[in-house]
């Protein structure tokens, strides 16, 4: 069989620990035999981030901006313990944060579904993709304790003019106060990323906030989304047969629980933080969750939502075989290659990526999986078998081979 050709490279961001090991195995077993892989490679391992003073992360972000599609392996975010372990000269920032800031992007978390791995909400038969605005609100607030007898005011100065708004008079009791903000530019980028991703996926977009109570702050979000939709996306949405729908956060929560899934839910920063953890848990497993960074200008970076699976890595170093689940990392690759194929107009690459996803899911559905999934797998007539990562990758390759 001729290998599938690529026109433009994907930006490949290698990472750390167990996921770095699996990264190479996925390429060896599932990609190289079938695809003439073109990639522009950046080594984001902590060792190389230290060696390059983190320049490699900035270069990788610039490459995604230039080429349009990146695929990223999980990376260590340094903490005090990692400083010692890797003799770091600085506590380098999370690469995900650096790349997100460079591309001004929004992260979409997307569960991978397979029969036998059932969501805790039985009605959910399709994925619910969550988009979290990653700037401002309570994450960039200022807070103060206000003693009894004090007064808190919001003061806004503009061109010498001063506007004061009373927050509270602490007459009967002391208390607390908080000031937070957001930026039109950031909200607009968030909205654009959401609309772009809904078009890419062909899925409805929901956006929720609390604009009835927060009639200026949250209302600003609602207005900017609507402006962007009307000005730049309405026609394309209608053509695709998808809808944009705004609702109150409490109504959204109720609708989500009753829904069948199959839509994108855009949330403000705090709502997205909380709701994404709830959805990830309810869909079954962190190892079955992918994450896509989408920039307002339509650049994409795909990765697994989980970390570098440190404990498995130390077992691997001792020579033990581990059953680390590679599915989210496989889907990072298929997401990136599929997008590359769509942008380049290379249907063979798109088809390969789709068949690899199908082969992966069907392997699980037929009873072959890693231990983490065996623990939650329930399907009539199928007795699950736990495999090591390598055995599982070869099972997938057998199916893929037949399908291709």
Whole-number minimum distance, CB 147 to ligand NAP, in Å?
40
Q: Which of 308, 334, 346, 360 binds ligand NAP (CB under 6 A)?
A: 308
Q: Which residue is nearest to ligand NAP (CB)?
A: 307
Count of residues that bind ligand NAP according to CB under 6 A: 17
**Residue 141: φ, ψ to 5°:** -95, 170
306 near ligand NAP, judged by CB under 6 A: yes
Part of the chain binding ligand NAP (CB under 6 A), chosen from 31-39, 214-222, 301-309, 335-343? 301-309
Q: How far is the CB of 328 from ligand NAP (least distance, A)?
A: 6
Nearer to ligand NAP, 132 or 306 (CB): 306
> x/- site string to ligand NAP, residues 370 to 399, per CB under 6 A?
--x---------------------------
Q: Which of 325, 346, 360, 363 is the binder for ligand NAP (CB under 6 A)?
A: 325
**Residue 77 interacts with which of Mg ion, ligand NAP, none, CB < 5 to 8 Å by class:** ligand NAP
Give the separation between CA 104 and CA 338, rounded to whole angstroms.
Answer: 22
Tokens of 339: 């997008």
Residue 363 near which of Mg ion, ligand NAP, none (CB within 5-8 Å, type-dependent): none
Q: How far is the CB of 130 from ligand NAP (least distance, A)?
A: 16
Among 48, 77, 125, 150, indicate the residue that binds ligand NAP (CB under 6 A).
77
Report residue 29 CA to chain centroid gap. Answer: 25
The half-sphere exposure of 378 on its side-chain side, counting CA atoms within 13 A, is: 5
- Please identify, using beta-carbon distances, which residue of 211 and 301 lies nearer to ligand NAP: 301
Give the residue with the Cβ less far from ligand NAP, 205 or 332: 332
Least distance from Mg ion to the Cβ atom of residue 31, Å = 32
Q: Does residue 96 touch ligand NAP according to CB under 6 A?
A: yes
Q: In the set 74, 224, 252, 337, which binds ligand NAP (CB under 6 A)?
A: 74
Site map 249..288 versus ligand NAP, x via CB under 6 A: -------------------------------------xx-
273 binds Mg ion (CB under 5 A): yes
Q: Closest residue to Mg ion, Cβ-based?
A: 273
Which residues have C-beta within 8 Å of that of residue 198, sequence separation ≥ 6?
204, 205, 237, 242, 244, 264
49's CB contacts (< 8 A; 6+ apart) are 56, 57, 75, 92, 95
Instruction: Kindly state the smallest distance separating residue 277's Cβ from ligand NAP, in Å.
Output: 12
- Which of the ranges 26-34, 255-263, 292-300, 302-310 carries the binding residues for ligand NAP, by CB under 6 A? 302-310
CB of 67 to Mg ion, least distance (A): 31
Cβ atoms 74, 23 nearer than 8 A: no
Select from 309, 330, 349, 400 the one that contacts ligand NAP (CB under 6 A).
309
**Is position 310 an interface residue for ligand NAP (rule: CB under 6 A)?**
yes
Q: In terms of Cα–Cα distance, which of 279, 244, 257, 287 is closest to 376?
A: 287
Please choose, out of 73-81, 240-248, 269-277, 344-352, the segment that lies near ligand NAP by the rule CB under 6 A.
Answer: 73-81
Question: Between residue 144 and residue 163, which ones bind ligand NAP under the rule CB under 6 A?
Answer: none
* Residue 272 CB, nearest approach to Mg ion (Å): 9
Provide the binding-site residues for Mg ion, judged by CB under 5 A.
273, 277
- Which residues bind to ligand NAP, rule: CB under 6 A? 74-77, 96, 286-287, 303, 306-311, 324-325, 372
């Amino acid at each position: 069989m001729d290998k599938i050709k690529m026109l433009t490279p994907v930006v490949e961001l290698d990472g750390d620990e167990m996921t770095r090991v699996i990264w190479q195995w996925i390429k060896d077993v599932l990609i190289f035999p079938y695809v003439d892989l073109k990639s522009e490679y950046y080594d984001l391992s902590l060792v190389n981030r230290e060696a390059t003073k983190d320049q490699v992360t900035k270069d990788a972000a610039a490459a995604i901006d230039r080429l349009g599609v990146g695929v990223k392996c999980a990376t260590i975010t340094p903490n005090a313990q990692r400083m010692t372990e890797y003799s770091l000269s600085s506590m380098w920032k999370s690469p995900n944060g650096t790349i997100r800031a460079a591309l001004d992007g929004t992260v979409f978390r997307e569960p991978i579904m397979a029969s036998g791995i059932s969501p805790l909400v039985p009605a959910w038969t399709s994925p619910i993709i969550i988009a979290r605005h990653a700037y401002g609100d309570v994450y960039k607030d200022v807070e103060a304790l206000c003693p009894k007898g004090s007064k808190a005011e919001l003061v806004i100065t503009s061109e010498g003019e001063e506007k004061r708004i009373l927050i509270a008079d602490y007459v009967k009791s002391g208390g607390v106060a908080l000031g937070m903000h957001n930026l039109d530019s950031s909200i607009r980028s968030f909205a654009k990323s959401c609309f772009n991703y809904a078009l890419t996926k062909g899925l409805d977009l929901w956006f929720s906030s609390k604009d009835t109570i927060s009639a200026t702050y949250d209302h600003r979000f609602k207005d900017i989304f609507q402006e962007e939709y009307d000005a730049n996306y309405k026609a394309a949405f209608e053509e695709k047969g998808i809808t944009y729908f705004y609702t109150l956060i409490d109504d959204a929560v109720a609708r989500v629980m009753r829904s069948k899934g199959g839509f994108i839910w855009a949330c403000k920063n705090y709502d997205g933080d909380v709701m994404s953890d709830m959805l990830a848990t309810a869909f079954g497993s962190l190892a079955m969750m992918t994450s896509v960074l989408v920039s307002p200008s339509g650049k994409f970076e795909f990765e697994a939502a989980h970390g570098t699976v440190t404990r498995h890595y130390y077992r691997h170093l001792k020579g033990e075989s581990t059953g680390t689940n590679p599915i989210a990392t496989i889907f990072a690759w298929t997401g990136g290659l599929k997008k590359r194929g769509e942008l380049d107009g290379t249907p063979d690459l798109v088809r390969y990526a789709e068949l690899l996803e199908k082969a992966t899911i069907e392997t699980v559905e037929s009873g072959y999986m890693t231990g983490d999934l065996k623990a939650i797998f329930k399907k009539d007539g199928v007795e699950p078998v736990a495999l090591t990562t390598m055995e599982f990758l070869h099972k997938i390759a057998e199916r893929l081979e037949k399908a291709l």
